[in-house]
Amino acid sequence: MADESLRLPNTIFRAVFDLGDKRAANIVLPTALSEPELFVEWLEDEHVVALYVEFEHGQLHVDCSSSGIEHHFHDRVGESSQTSPWPAAETEVLIDWASMLASEVFARMPNLMEDIEEAAAWYEAGYPLYVCETDPAFLDLLEVEIEGEILTLPWLGSGQVGQEHLDGDNHPVALLWNPVNENPDRAIATAWLDPATGEPATAAEPGVDWDDVGLPADEVLVWLEGTYLNNHISPDPESAIIQAVLRRMGGLDGE
């Protein structure tokens, strides 16, 4: 297993954004649905905001464009449905809240996403504070906790390695390897998120000559788990900032 004692400490990054009136924050979510996991995508080519509101037992997906707002649900295993997994009264409030939040995010695109991307770049460059460029306005200061990465060595085996997302449940990722080519193309191991424990799981692929790889299978799996945690499980700075922005706009951070 990856050595969690090698994880860098979490850091606090401060960012100032123009988030507008935050009308969604005036809608009080039902207690049972008051702590969703939030994410948003700006689909620039389609000019659509896709908002994901996720809970342990299901997800609400809202798409907002200039044509209006559409929504559907996903059950706990990811199957799409028009039927809510929650009681009707709670679902109605959740849809109203998510629709308002998506419409407010849409109204601030693409500038808001550009600010978020720039803030993440400032964090990566080592700056502790980002302030967006804006006309005079009421601004929001967000304090974003960025999870520290696990320290991992560079690949010490032979050849080149890369990672590739796979289709399927539980976020599977293949470790690809090639002994000479700069474009790894052979799967030698797989990592995924164990739904029972919430922790990463790994397995070596059969038929691999680990002498050719240059590392024993157990060392490869430990290395893969650490990189999987860093790159696919722990929120990257941009994702952490997006979540903080959405929680502020949705009134979920107590501010």
Q: How far apart are CA 199 and CA 195, in angstroms?
A: 8
Bridge partners (DSSP) of residue 58 are 55, 75
Place of tokens 């706990």: 76
What is the pLDDT, as a whole number, of residue 2? 59
pTM for this model (two decimals): 0.76
pLDDT digit string (tens) for 129-171? 999 999 898 999 999 999 887 778 889 999 999 999 888 878 8
Structure tokens at 55: 């809970």
Structure tokens at 95: 């849809």
- Mean pLDDT for 18-43 is 95
Q: Which of these, 10, 15, 11, lies nearest to 143 by C-alpha position?
A: 15
- Mean pLDDT for 229-246 is 88
What is the pLDDT, as a whole number, of residue 80? 86
3-state secondary structure of 51: strand
- Give the count of beta carbons closer than 10 Å to the beta carbon of residue 226: 23
> Domain boundaries in the chain?
19-126, 160-233
Is the pLDDT higher at 201 or at 2?
Answer: 201
Structure tokens at 252: 């979920």
What is the pLDDT, as a whole number, of residue 197? 81
Please give the share of the chain, as a percent, with pLDDT higher than 90.
Answer: 74
Residue 62 host element (H or E): strand 58-65
Q: Are 155 and 223 in contact (CB under 8 A)?
A: yes
Q: What is the dihedral of CA 170, 196, 145, 60, to 10 degrees?
A: 60
